Amino acid sequence: MASKKIFGIVLAGGEGKRLMPLTADRAKPAVPFGGNYRLIDFALSNLINSGLRQIVVLTQYKSHSLDRHVSQTWSIEGLLGAYVASVPAQQRLGKRWFAGSADAILQSLNLLRDEKPDIVVVVGADHVYRMDFDQMVQAHIESGKSATVAAIRQPISLADQFGVIQTNEDDATLIDAFLEKPKNPVGLADSPDEVLASMGNYVFNADALIDAVLRDGENPASNHDMGGDIIPDFVSRGDCAVYDLNRNDVPGSTERDRYYWRDVGTIDSFYDAHRDLIAALPVFNLYNTSWPIYSQQLNSPPAKFGRDAHGNPGSLIESIVSLGTVSIGSHIERSVVGPWNTLDSGSRVVDSVLFDRIYVGKNSIVNRAILDKDVVIADGAHIGLDAEADRARGFTVTPSGITVVGKGVRVEQ
């Protein structure tokens, strides 16, 4: 890591309404992902792998499972001065909750004043990607600017889904404008069909960040948002640089997954990100041991695949199956199966994502579905085959046809 003192802040207070019902009982960063992980594990793994050792997670919305996960999984005390700490909204500035991501930092300035860092790395908690923040910090220092925004190249046709960065004609590392979901963006000089989209990751000189959130807190017209208010303030003063992810070289990455980044803010994007994991040559490779994604190490037996009473061995095709899961003559295809699931004789799980401790009954079918924890699929029941029937039973079905079953629901035949 750079010789300067670096402090990490993970913004994990988002409500995640677009991921309902998966966020009905938990904060968005605590949503399970990829079998063994939670969404926040990607941000924290990137920071730890980058050399940061003092990290706080600012939480607010339904934070119990997130706080428990951070405390059980991310205990790095014992290293000199090292910690990953979950910090809930403390109402230090009055009896109110966080009014936005910038306000979350404003209400947590005691953390910066206690540690007195030179540089602060601020990241979101709900994106799937790999990134070496040490390289971004070095680029930030070299830029001489007070703020740096991480950006990833996206097709210009998708510009209206992102905060888009417009760079200076003479200096491509300097941000001239920060445009929120523009309708008619200008492509990059070296790639006219692409734009630079903000990744929601920032590096600040600590004193400049403190000054910015203090001033923002006094502005009644502000939405108190990092991307919507704080970054445009730095841009307006010509004091904001951009860091193109193309400059980042993560150990162990391949050409296929080197610049992977996905915002899993909707059910469809969450589902699609799981699809990226299971290909023979995965678009996002969980098996990069040079830059591991850490999570809770479950005290579980291995997954087990057995024949049913009729001698049917079942089958497993292009899928991820987690520890503790038992498959008894079932068929699993193009799916991600979390820990401690039971798939009984003759059941079929296809193009689906299963969280923890789910029972899939005999001769039942799960198709293009996401099942939250403790769901029971009764013997002979079907889910995901008939969108209208699923909606009539009260389940969420996306326009693309993904059926979502909330935590603890029993699906009858």
Tokens matching residue 300: 């579980």
- Is 180 annotated as contributing to ligand binding? yes
CB 356 within 8 A of CB 341: yes
Residues of the chain with CATH 2.160.10.10: 304-411
304-411 domain in CATH 2.160.10.10?
A: yes
Homologous superfamily assigned to 6-278: Spore Coat Polysaccharide Biosynthesis Protein SpsA; Chain A (3.90.550.10)
Q: What is the pLDDT of residue 78?
A: 64
CA separation, residue 246 to residues 43, 44, 45, 242 (Å): 18, 21, 20, 12
Interval 182-218: pLDDT, tens:
888 889 888 899 999 999 999 999 999 999 999 999 9
Residue 168 confidence class, pLDDT cut points 50, 70, 90? confident
DSSP state of 78: T
CA separation, residue 306 to residues 40, 91, 189, 325, 365 (Å): 34, 54, 57, 11, 19
Give CA–CA dist 373/21, Å, rounded: 11
- Is 95 annotated as contributing to ligand binding? no
For residue 178, give the H/E element and its range.
strand 175-180
8 contacts: CB under 8 Å, gap ≥ 6? 47, 52, 54, 55, 56, 120, 121, 122, 123
- Is 5 annotated as contributing to ligand binding? no
Residues of the chain with CATH 3.90.550.10: 6-278
Q: What is the pLDDT of residue 79?
A: 62
pLDDT (mean) for 21-36? 92
Interval 336-391: pLDDT, tens:
999 999 999 999 999 999 999 999 999 999 999 999 999 999 999 999 999 999 99
DSSP state of 99: -
Nearest-5° Cα angle at 120, 114 to 125: 105
- Is 198 annotated as contributing to ligand binding? yes
116: buried, middle or exposed (CB in 10 Å: 19+, 13-18, 0-12)?
A: exposed
Interval 59-87: pLDDT, tens:
987 878 888 888 888 887 666 688 898 88
